[in-house]
Structure 1
Amino acid sequence: MNRYPLLEIDRNVIRRNAGILLRECRKRGVEPFAVLKGFNAIPEIRDALLEAGYKTLASSRLPHLAAVKEAGLPVKTLGLRIPMLSEAADVVKLCDISLNSEIETMRALDRAAETADVVHNVILMRDLGDLREGIFDSREFIETAVYIERELKNLRLYGAGTNLTCYGSVIPTAENLSLLSADAMKIEEVIGRELEVVSGGGTTSIPLMMSGGMPKKINNLRIGEANVVPCDFIERGQCPIEGLSNRGLVLKAEIIEIGEKPTHPIGKLGTNCFGSYVHYEDRGVAAARCWP
């Protein structure tokens, strides 16, 4: 007898999704990283992404990357979350690359890398208006990049990046990603070499890439959702890519109550069970919400 709720995983579907997306990215000069956090780095799914051809695995959770290292997988690891100062030694040990924006944190990473006798790769993050993480001012961003290159001897300025469609819901466009592209080129001019990575966001940047609007300097995306459940592409028609399927993960549950009730509560209203005041729209009588 099955116990519910039940999560069904189809590795073949996920591997096929990942392969399709890798092919579409590489056709356009983009080498993506696979993000593990959305499925809690379940090994069966992680390994399906490797079989599809991903060369770098990324997560905001260090235990996910520790498991990659412990498994001896032949890939690079990327720490997606800006490190805490207290994590510097662990980040240097578990992450080949990390996203960063704070000078003080990068100094701590530099010291930890010296202690560990390694060179740690850094992608410096630029805030283009989504207000998640990153340096907001262009001049400060470029100056910080040059400081990393010239002063932090145990860090390597691996690239520049940004986050979009996260805290602030800002959609990736040719206009905002051109700001990152322009800053990356200015950094390269000052330091006298090319950056390995200019990372233009994640899954939500794929429609721009597919439409041909991605600035040419952008050569990386950090893809999680689209590999596993590309719902936004398929159901909303934002980015139809032939062959993608939402059947990689299927959550099954049993209905324990069904019927029709008014859509507006009856009686004097206060806070709900979460301590919030909620506005209810009266839509007449409809099927009741089913609680698992």
Structure 2
Amino acid sequence: MPTFLVNVSKIQQNLDAIFARAQERKIDFVSVVKSFHDSSELMHLFDRRRPSYLGMSKLPLAEKFRDQVQSPIMMTSIPRPADAARTVRIAEVSLNSNLETIAALDRAAADAGTHHGIVLMIDVGDLREGILPADAAAFVRALAGRGFAHVSIRGIGTNYACANGVEPSAANLETIYSLAGELAAILGARPYVSLGGSSILDWLDHHHLRDWPTQIRIGQSILLGTLPVVDTAAPGLCTDTLVFRSTILEQALKPSAPAEPGGADALGAVNRPCDRGFRRRAILDFGVSDTDPKALVPSDPGIEIITANSDYTIVDVTDSNQPYDVGDTIDFIPKYRAMLQGFISPYLEKKYQ
């Protein structure tokens, strides 16, 4: 069975390092926990740090852990109107960009006898969720005109490098901070600015975030120690946090190209491999039902991933200096998508070290 080796102490080092940097700059910190799915070990690790919020994107997981954690929960994916009652029961705050969804949350909060916080999402260029900056003032006035008594805007937020790889810049940060100042006059209070995505970490160290109540929502850099888009190590963080370990099921010399042209493979991809003669190939005990093989980096630089299907991944070990055989293991370093799919897969064993 393929295995995730999870180095809890290294993940804790990353968590503590980012938390300390945020505290030093008087910035609220949201630990985004969606990447490790239902790992109770990591959930409790994140919770013990007592972030401003645990950022969760799936209601079933939030419901599972609500009574197991002490930190308040922020729903980091926009709720469906039909899920308003579940959302206000589980989370103190949710991200929103639709007036009728907010109306549903207000009704649900009234029925539950509670109050729910809103982070109004603004799209500053990544073209994911959020209203355009030019429409924000009119949106807030319309919201105020509805007279909602059980929801209120706590902050305005945006996401970076989630849909189109747009990273923080002086221009788009100035847009959202200036908008926060404009909305403060309408709201009668200063909303915090909630910045989502690990790419914001660079601005903690090398740039300047305006002196305003600010919140950062971070996930990837805690778990992998890397920055999105550029996919490089984040300064001061550990990148040896996760190892994907597989086992060789078959190993043999085989042609590097099929004898006859083929069509699509089991996953619908059309492969046109170059003929490199006979190569030593190994079949590994995982496929796309376990993780995303395309988002794995072999620890052995002499190994090349050739293709994968639902249960197998085929690698070329010809150029490796290791004498691999059936039963031997091969390790990989997961990128974000491999980590995400791996934690979700019920077929992947997780070992915490």
- What's the TM-score, normalizing by structure 1? 0.86
Call closer, same or farther: CA 1:69–1:261 in 2, change over 3 Å: same
Call closer, same or farther: CA 1:105–1:263 in 2, change over 3 Å: farther
Equivalent-residue separation in structure 1 for 2:202 and 2:258 (angstroms): 41
Q: Give, as a single letter, the amino acid of the residue that structure 2 aligns with 1:227.
A: I
**RMSD between aligned residues:** 2.5
Contact 2:126 2:160 in 1 (8 A): yes
Equivalent-residue separation in structure 2 for 1:162 and 1:237 (angstroms): 23
Q: Give, as a single letter, the amino acid of the residue that structure 1 aligns with 2:35.
A: G
* 1:20 corresponds to: 17
Call closer, same or farther: CA 1:112–1:238 in 2, change over 3 Å: same
Q: 2:111 aligns with which of 111, 115, 122?
A: 115
* 2:136 corresponds to: 141
* 1:191 corresponds to: 187
Call closer, same or farther: CA 1:21–1:281 in 2, change over 3 Å: farther
When you count helix as a share of all residues, which structure comes out higher? Answer: 1
Q: Moved runs in structure 1, 4+ residues, more than 6 A?
A: none
Q: Give, as a single letter, the amino acid of the residue that structure 2 aligns with 1:220.
A: Q
SS of the counterpart of 1:144? helix
When you count strand as a share of all residues, which structure comes out higher? Answer: 2
Q: 1:50 aligns with which of 28, 47, 50?
A: 47
SS of the counterpart of 1:187? helix
* 1:175 corresponds to: 171
Aligned residues: 282
Q: Give, as a single letter, the amino acid of the residue that structure 2 aligns with 1:35.
A: V
* 1:38 corresponds to: 35
1:18-51 Cα shifts (integer Å, max 9, x gaps): 1111011222232110111100141111111223
Bigger Rg over Cα: 2
- Determine if the alignment matches structure 1 residue 66 to structure 2 residue 63: yes
Equivalent-residue separation in structure 1 for 2:50 and 2:38 (angstroms): 17
For structure 1, the 5+ residue unaligned runs are none
Equivalent-residue separation in structure 1 for 2:212 and 2:198 (angstroms): 18
1:141-190 Cα shifts (integer Å, max 9, x gaps): 22223333452221011100011211112122222122111111110122
Contact 1:148 1:156 in 2 (8 A): no
- Identical aligned pairs, as a percentage? 25
Q: State the 1:70 CA deviation.
A: 1.9
Call closer, same or farther: CA 1:225–1:258 in 2, change over 3 Å: farther
- Determine if the alignment matches structure 1 residue 245 to structure 2 residue 238: yes
For structure 2, the 5+ residue unaligned runs are 286-353
Q: State the 1:132 CA deviation.
A: 1.2
- What's the TM-score, normalizing by structure 2? 0.72
Equivalent-residue separation in structure 2 for 1:139 and 1:289 (angstroms): 56
* 2:200 corresponds to: 205
Contact 2:11 2:223 in 1 (8 A): yes
1:242-261 Cα shifts (integer Å, max 9, x gaps): xx223333322212344666
Call closer, same or farther: CA 1:154–1:236 in 2, change over 3 Å: closer
Contact 1:15 1:51 in 2 (8 A): no
